[in-house]
Chain A
């Protein structure tokens, strides 16, 4: 186990020896490699090093067992999924499919994914979703893989891919242009490796070792607090008392005169999917395995990379800057909940109804939608048991209804 961790650290060192700056992006991309069928998206303007980083990671993990498809070139279905074996069709009348090397390779690269045509994207999306590919009515299962993609969001010759496609990428990391000092370092590196940064990159982990590391990470058990914080962070970005996911009207119009107008929820137009919770758990486990622990600060930092391609904000000046601001607010909210003993009260109430704890819980719930929906579920149980009258409940007093999601009761 120790040697696998050492090898992961060695991989980071080898990449950093060839890639200048953007150290956090490297760390996140590598952390994301520690679970099955990992997929990372690198976003940056032209010439910053998206493709170089993608190739360095793929080479370090898969060696020559990798295929890169470029959206900049004309990509046909046969090159991504498979093509018909013409001699078999002509001689025997049998439709035999020759599966493309992209489906077989452990390392899969998608260069300039924004330029991939919708048909290729649909095939890749299917592969990421179901772990198999279809061609000519035949299916082949794609084993475990490492997928890295990159795109230039400012590229004018871009196809608009669907949000569910981007949701399939575990993390999205941006790259920044180099500082003055970093530019000097890059020139030195180019001289040292004679311009062959990628070619000189060794394979640090074999596919068996990576598989073993992924198994070990999968077996890690996260402590209850970490699991709780992961779920809370995602839920705080999803919750809406006016049910924005179902509503035709979206924030900020939907939030007019809402009780929670100053909360994080009012800044989020499209909330993150449930997959964000899964990916945050993967990353937290990987951090525990590799670094020996994962703190709340680590989780909030990871959330930045997990949310950035999954949500839409109401007003965007700089997506990462605005998202970071919301995550800072989220941190304060998490601390405030602990300081106000909200979870202690809910713990007591989940065991049995107590009027004193319930009074405190109701006060807290008025200011916290996530807490309120948990309290409202308990209220239904107490009404069923005759411990509480419906008119005394939070839902009756605030005029909130909890169905599958939130619904404000129409008068």
Chain B
């Protein structure tokens, strides 16, 4: 059984240091972090937070893994969208064909002679 003061301490700390949970990844934004001039900057900060990178950009194993997972995810997403676009294109051509066919049938029913038009 957790004491009330302990709960309040954890809640207060959580309020001061919030985190975001995105699927399986926990992240947070560092506040007031300034790098000394000339020091290497973190790659993830420039990727996700849009910060201007320094001359040297460093990446730890964890960040590299994260970026790798993210790229793999994006590639899968691109492939999936490609497949969907191809399907949509085929569907559109089929719909166009059907529309043309229906138009021709409609004209034929109206008594339009296509042989005369062709001649």
Is the CB–CB distance between A357 and B13 below 8 Å? no
Residues of chain B having any CB pair with chain A under 8 Å: 2, 5-14, 16-19, 21, 23-26, 28, 30
Is the CB–CB distance between B25 and A338 below 8 Å? no
Interface residues in A329-372 by Cβ distance below 8 A to B read 338-339, 341, 343-348, 350, 354-357, 360
* Chain B, Cβ-Cβ closest to A232: B9
Bound form: Cα–Cα A341–B13 in Å? 8
Task: Confirm or deny: A316 has a beta carbon within 8 angstroms of a beta carbon on chain B.
Answer: no
Is the CB–CB distance between B21 and A356 below 8 Å? yes
Contacts of B7 in A (CB 8 A): 350
**Given contacts A343-B17, A346-B10, are A360 and B5 in contact (CB under 8 A)?**
no
- Can you list 28 A-B pairs, Cβ within 8 angstroms, ordered by A? A224-B11, A224-B12, A225-B9, A225-B13, A227-B5, A228-B5, A228-B9, A228-B12, A228-B13, A338-B16, A339-B17, A343-B10, A343-B14, A343-B17, A344-B13, A344-B17, A344-B18, A344-B19, A346-B10, A347-B10, A347-B13, A348-B14, A354-B21, A355-B24, A356-B23, A356-B24, A357-B21, A360-B26
Contacts of B8 in A (CB 8 A): 224, 227
Closest Cβ of chain B to A331, distance in Å, is 16
Q: How many residues of A contact B (CB 8 A)?
A: 20
Contacts of B21 in A (CB 8 A): 354, 356-357
Contacts of A343 in B (CB 8 A): 9-10, 13-14, 17
Contacts of B11 in A (CB 8 A): 224, 347
Bound form: Cα–Cα A402–B104 in Å? 83
Is the CB–CB distance between A357 and B26 below 8 Å? yes
Closest Cβ of chain A to B60, distance in Å, is 14
Interface residues in A203-233 by Cβ distance below 8 A to B read 223-225, 227-228
Q: Please give me the 9 A-B residue pairs with the lowest Cβ-Cβ distance, nearest first.
A: A228-B9, A343-B13, A224-B8, A347-B10, A347-B14, A344-B14, A224-B9, A224-B12, A344-B17
Bound form: Cα–Cα A224–B4 in Å? 10
Contacts of B23 in A (CB 8 A): 356
Bound form: Cα–Cα A226–B13 in Å? 11
Closest Cβ of chain B to A22, distance in Å, is 35
Is the CB–CB distance between B13 and A338 below 8 Å? yes
- Residue of B10, B16, B21 contacting most chain A CB atoms (<10 Å): B10
Closest Cβ of chain A to B61, distance in Å, is 13
Contacts of A344 in B (CB 8 A): 13-14, 17-19
Q: Mark A304-337, 1 if CB is under 8 A from B, else 0.
A: 0000000000000000000000000000000000
Contacts of B2 in A (CB 8 A): 350
Contacts of B5 in A (CB 8 A): 224, 227-228
Closest Cβ of chain A to B26, distance in Å, is 5
Contacts of A348 in B (CB 8 A): 14
Contacts of A228 in B (CB 8 A): 5-6, 9, 12-13
Closest Cβ of chain B to A155, distance in Å, is 43
Contacts of A360 in B (CB 8 A): 26
